[in-house]
Amino acid sequence: MKKMMLKPRTETELAEMIAGATGPLAFCGGGTRGFDVAGEALTTSGLSGVELYEPGALTMVARAGTPVAEIEALLAENGQRLAFEPMDHRGLLGTEGVPTIGGVFAANISGPRRIQVGAARDFLLGVRFVDGTGQVVKNGGRVMKNVTGYDLVKLMSGAHGTLGVLSEVSFKVLPRPEVAATVVVQDVDLEVAVQVMSAALGSPFDVTGAAYDPVERRAYVRIEGFAGSVDYRVGRLVADLARFGAVQQVNDSENLWRGIRDVSAFHGNAGDVWRISVKPSDAVELAEQLQAEALQFDWGGGLIWALVPAGTDLRARIAVPGHATLMRAGAETRGRLGQFQPEPAPLAAISAELRAKFDPRGILNTGLMG
Amino acid sequence: MQMPSPNTAILARKAELAAKLSTVLPQDALIQDEAETRAYECDALTAYRCPPMLVVLPRTTQEVSDVLRVCHQMGVPVVPRGAGTSLAGGALPTADCVILGVARMNDVLETDYDNRIIRVQTGRTNLSVSGAVEEEDFFYAPDPSSQLACAIAGNIAMNSGGAHCLKYGVTTNNLMGVTLVMMDGTVVEIGGAHLDAGGLDLLGVICGSEGQLGVVTEATLRILRKPEGARPVLIGYDSNEVAGACVSDIIKAGVLPVAIEFMDRPCIEACEAFAKAGYPMCEALLIIEVEGSPEEIDHQLGLIIEIARSHNPVELREAQDADEAGRIWLGRKSAFGAMGQINDYMCLDGTIPVTELPYVLRRIGELSKQYGLGVANVFHAGDGNMHPLILFDANKPGDLELCEDMGAEILKLCVEVGGCLTGEHGVGVEKRDLMLHQYSPEDLEAQLKVKDVFDPQWLLNPAKVFPLSVTEGRRAVELIK
Ligand SMILES: Cc1cc2nc3c(=O)[nH]c(=O)nc-3n(C[C@H](O)[C@H](O)[C@H](O)COP(=O)(O)OP(=O)(O)OC[C@H]3O[C@@H](n4cnc5c(N)ncnc54)[C@H](O)[C@@H]3O)c2cc1C
Ligand SMILES: Cc1cc2nc3c(=O)[nH]c(=O)nc-3n(C[C@H](O)[C@H](O)[C@H](O)COP(=O)(O)OP(=O)(O)OC[C@H]3O[C@@H](n4cnc5c(N)ncnc54)[C@H](O)[C@@H]3O)c2cc1C
């Protein structure tokens, strides 16, 4: 019979469950990730609810299991949003469930706007978490500038629950702009597309998205802000980018960017999906090295999504600096290749020691990150 | 303020240490002479001074690594130093330490406009990083007021901010990679020209670690294209509350200025007397700056002015040209100098939720009366980072202590209302003993564990950031071999 999932309702309960655990625990928020970590399942979805929202201070505090959708709806009512544009993985990964804000920060998930406003970790102001011994720890706070002691907030963001389980997060939000528009440069190859994106990102026009679709052979450049200002900047970019190819302006581009964010081009396709972060100008060389069945480019060329036959060790083909995460694959492949890029020896040693300090019994998402 | 007493066993081996260091460093990189080491006895928190045992000024990562290996072997504490502009005593030596200064490491290693990055040695000053990319119209965004002097090394160690961080973020948001030398001499590369960490975000925890986890010798920084233009508006109100409400409304309206600076009456008066910027005499002044093309600026300022008007300002002055913009900024930029003219002062750096602004200013006023010391407030209002300047007389016995007590009260107040002890200057020695007001012993223990991993013997800048009572057991580890 399937065992019940642990579902703490309070931080104290969560701490007790971890302190009392007799073996490994596998965490999820909404579980949109699907388990491939061994251990007793524990969901933070019972720790739900927004605790504080101050639109005038651009800050929100929420329990870690609060659904992202609930947060986005509340922000939208006040003309604000999560500016780092976290993706919804469900389509790509074929999973169900309700993504939680804790999961978003634990995985440091950021979308196209990351290049301009920063990553999820840049918006996370404070955390409360429970470490592997059951100790509750707080770090950071709810103010936008805080250098009091070490920044464990950043360390927790992207730790995928291996250093502690987040129970509460406070984060910065930003105003939703009046309008958005996209400049499309048509019929360009990857090399030219990278030049287009680089020119756009190197302009003074506050570009908030720069992506390339090699199937359509189109480079996309997004501008957001007040209507008049967007018109002006689009005009300048259209004029400037015309030297690379035929340029067109698209005003209603919300779906386009959602598709880029969620990598909709790969939804339902067979094969493994990798997510690679490199220096944008290395994209061209890397694309050749990858020999992938399909590619998508975001972050000016610096973020590459690759679709390859199941079981391919894509990391073995990569000969430029950066890191590759295995996002979608069967259990055997994930076990064999590991989801995360192995770190160079001295960093791997530091990371292992940090995990040993925060989780001395090795029970938090054991083995997920090395 | 207390510092640990120097370890006499280390002092006794000064000659041996100097001899070993001289085998790994060029002659001019090792300073032993007491007259010369005295130049390193303090940083910008000049109330506390202590000449170090030795000073080294390496030029390469390899030399830094060699120095640290030698010190590690001999169990000698090391205090990293950039330009020594810390206001928190972060670079304050102990008598038994080696000061490792990176000031001679100031090369630009790579500029890459296509990928919008610059790689520098960390002894390079903040302003000269922007200077290196200026001709292509790029800049490095974090702009501490000390930018002419402070080094990227200290910026990274303190996670420094600046007037424009409301839009561009602080150091950690603009730092992409570092070369870090660990206390045992191991050199590690973290991050680089690509975005985000593959594994744990070690870069995130190194930034702001106040020289306690490793010595940063090189850094990859994000550079940005300069905006087409920028223009400030000056708005005066007859109450702090109303000025605070105006700031909140502007933010809620979706306008995101690059800077919102706030000055209260004592500060306005001092600046006006000093810089003659033509400021109106009122309770609260806001300087709000926006960026873009001339039309974009007009539009944003239009929205801001409309909101400002709805709060009945006593003064509203829009810069018509560069000259007028310069005059609006003049007073603010000379605020610290102005205060220095009339008094000794201590600059605090607590951050509060912006909604608590009126309450906190009122409480500070009450504390000012209670302690009999004047306070001028100047701060980054958009993000709640306060800089109360407490005025005192260094020549009057007991005044510094009184001022420190009052400062501690103000910082505790910041924590009470949901803020923190320091928004950008760092803890150093100055706020070390207040840490337990913000964090529980367990919260601090989690931070100490990180240092245990990077520097198990607690040799790097060991007497900073955490209360000495909390770190005693860790610092007492017997090392002399
Ligand atoms: C680098 C990366 C790799 C990913 N790999 C996969 C994958 O292989 N398969 C997949 O289906 N999705 C994967 N995702 C998607 C992502 O995990 C989810 O879409 C997102 O976290 C949504 O939130 P959730 O609540 O559903 O999180 P979950 O999917 O439940 O959890 C995401 C991760 O965060 C941890 N976590 C969740 N809540 C907390 C918390 N409160 N405190 C600490 N840790 C917590 C989980 O243990 C897990 O490691 C990945 C994301 C990234 C950025
Ligand atoms: C007039 C004035 C105005 C200021 N304005 C601002 C402001 O607007 N915003 C702001 O944030 N700060 C401000 N400061 C504070 C100060 O300038 C910053 O903290 C600055 O970043 C310190 O840099 P530094 O190179 O002088 O560092 P130092 O003072 O030399 O050292 C600061 C800390 O960094 C550590 N450190 C130095 N080098 C290294 C290294 N290579 N590796 C690891 N650790 C190292 C030191 O051990 C110390 O803990 C101001 C200071 C003054 C005097």
Convert the pLDDT of each residue in A311-322 to its tens digit: 999 999 999 999
Cα(B149) to ligand 2 centroid in Å equals 9
Query: With bands split at pLDDT 50, 70 and 90, how would you rate the model's confidence at A1?
Result: very low
Cβ separation of B199 and A174 shorter than 8 Å? no
pTM, rounded to two decimals: 0.95
Q: Kindly report the nearest CA distance between residue B243 and chain A, in angstroms.
A: 13
Q: Which CATH class is domain B343-433?
A: alpha beta
Cα(A178) to ligand 1 centroid in Å equals 31
Instruction: Give the count of Cβ contacts less than 8 A between chain A and B.
Output: 256
Instruction: Answer whether residue A207 is part of any domain.
Output: yes
Cβ separation of B422 and A148 shorter than 8 Å? yes
Convert the pLDDT of each residue in B262-284 to its tens digit: 999 988 988 888 888 889 999 99
Q: What is the ipTM of this complex?
A: 0.96
Average pLDDT, chain B: 94
Q: Are B92 and B112 a contacting pair, CB within 8 Å? A: no
CATH of domain B8-103+446-475: 3.30.43.10
Are residues A184 and A138 part of one domain? Answer: no
Q: Report the nearest-CA residue for atom 3 of ligand 1.
A: A327
Give me the amino acid identity at B232: P
Convert the pLDDT of each residue in A241-283 to its tens digit: 999 999 999 988 999 999 999 999 999 999 999 999 999 999 9
Are residues A313 and A246 part of one domain? Answer: no
Cα(A329) to ligand 1 centroid in Å equals 15
Res. A178: pLDDT tops 80: yes
Among chain A residues, the shortest Cα distance to B456 is held by A353
Q: What angle do CA A195, A200, A205 make, to 5 degrees?
A: 170
Q: Are A310 and A321 a contacting pair, CB within 8 Å? A: no
Determine whether the shortest distance from the Cβ of A93 to ligand 1 is under 6 A.
yes
Q: Kindly report the nearest CA distance between residue A37 and chain B, in angstroms.
A: 17
Question: Which residues on chain A are in Cβ contact (under 8 Å) with B228?
Answer: 204
Instruction: Report how many domains make up chain A.
Output: 3
Q: What is the dihedral of CA A184, A188, A194, A199, to 10 degrees?
A: -50
**Domain boundaries, position A139:** 11-175
- Per the DSSP assignment, residues forming a β-bridge with B351 are B385, B420
B108 by DSSP, 3-state: which? strand
Cβ separation of B195 and A136 shorter than 8 Å? no
Question: Which residues on chain A are in Cβ contact (under 8 Å) with B465?
Answer: 149-150
Determine whether the shortest distance from the Cβ of A31 to ligand 1 is under 6 A.
yes
Cβ separation of B189 and A344 shorter than 8 Å? yes
In chain B, residues under CATH classification 3.30.70.2740 are 343-433
Give me the amino acid identity at B446: A
- Per the DSSP assignment, residues forming a β-bridge with B100 are B56, B80
Q: Report the nearest-CA residue for atom 5 of ligand 2.
A: B145
Q: Residue A78's closest CA among B303, B306, B356, B254?
A: B254
Instruction: Answer whether residue A92 is part of any domain.
Output: yes
Q: Kindly report the nearest CA distance between residue A23 and chain B, in angstroms.
A: 22
CATH of domain B230-336: 3.30.70.3450
Q: Residue B262's closest CA among B277, B276, B278, B242?
A: B242
What is the Cα–Cα distance from A158 to B199, expressed in whole angstroms?
Answer: 8
**Best of B115, B118, B298, B466 to disrupt the A interface by mutation (most A CBs within 10 Å)?**
B115
Residue with tokens 């011994």: A133
CA distances from B64 to B32, B53, B150 (A): 17, 17, 20
Q: Are B376 and B413 a contacting pair, CB within 8 Å? A: no
Q: Which CATH class is domain B108-225?
A: alpha beta
What is the Cα–Cα distance from B167 to A204, expressed in whole angstroms?
Answer: 14
Q: Are A281 and A321 a contacting pair, CB within 8 Å? A: no
What's the pLDDT score for residue B379? 86
Convert the pLDDT of each residue in B101-136 to its tens digit: 999 999 999 999 999 999 999 999 999 999 999 999
Q: What token pair was written down for B335?
A: 């605020």
Cβ separation of B355 and A54 shorter than 8 Å? yes
Are residues A160 and A39 part of one domain? Answer: yes
The rounded Cα B5 to chain-centroid distance in angstroms is: 27
Q: Which residues, in sequence order, are CB contacts of A216 under 8 Å at separation 6+?
A: none
Residues in chain B: 481
B314 by DSSP, 3-state: which? coil
CATH number for the domain spanning A235: value is 3.30.70.600
What is the Cα–Cα distance from B433 to B289, expressed in whole angstroms?
Answer: 37
Are residues A86 and A41 part of one domain? Answer: yes
Convert the pLDDT of each residue in A48-104 to its tens digit: 999 999 998 899 999 999 999 999 999 999 999 999 999 999 999 988 888 999 999
